[in-house]
Amino acid sequence: MRFAKAATVVGVVAIGGVLSVTAASGQTAAPAGSIAYIDIARVAAESTDGQAANARVDELSQQKLAEIEARNSEGQGEIAAVNQELQESQQKLQQGANVLSPEAAATLQRQIARLQRDVERLTQDTQADIQRMSQDAELEVQELQQQLQVEFESRLVPAIDELASEKGVSMIFNAQQGLVWADPSLDLTQELIDLLNSDAGATP
């Protein structure tokens, strides 16, 4: 999961009052240039803040994946070692079927049964550990995404306010929430990215 997918903003950001909408009944139309739209996903993906957030999510995801793979490798190594011992004991019992004393054969059979239980236990433990680690990792990544989303939106919303005031628009739509088509000249996405990046560069 990427931060860009998690970053969302309300579908419509209203600035400076209610916008009059053109209707067949002859209501007053909105003045030219009073509506604009932005692509929030693109802002999250291309802005400095969004890219930094994505990098942090990726870093944590890779770290957790490496931990899970290490635990899996460790578990598989333990299982392979016990399996090897099990196979050797089974082979010894098979080869010595005619020469082993009943006591020795019984001892080998008990050892084989114990090793089989060990293999089953190790397999279950490894699977349980991996499942738990995967669930914990997913939760940790989601918590980081939520934290970064809050931080991102705390900078995004004031930037949208500033951009709306600068451009003199009354409403800004999110291009990802119900917008089917709009004049590309109304797209303020790049201006918002530039504004966020300039603010990020000015912040120590």
Return per-residue pLDDT of the chain as tens, 204 residues.
Answer: 455 444 433 333 333 322 222 223 333 333 445 899 999 999 999 999 999 999 999 999 999 999 999 999 999 999 999 999 999 999 999 888 788 888 999 999 999 999 999 999 999 999 999 999 999 999 999 999 999 999 999 999 999 999 999 989 989 999 888 888 888 989 999 999 999 999 776 554
CA angle 185, 183, 24 (to 5 degrees): 130
The reported pTM is 0.71
> Among candidates 10, 11, 3, 7, which has minimal Cα distance to 179?
11
Tokens representing residue 147 in the block: 């934290």
B/e letters for 177-203, b = 16+ CB within 10 Å, e = fewer, are eeeeeeeeebbbbeebbebbbebeeee
Amino acid, res. 24: A
Quote the DSSP letter at residue 28.
P
What is the torsional sign of CA 24, 28, 33, 39?
A: negative
Confidence (pLDDT) at 98: 82
Confidence (pLDDT) at 191: 94
Q: Greatest CA span in the chain, whole angstroms?
A: 106
Confidence (pLDDT) at 194: 95
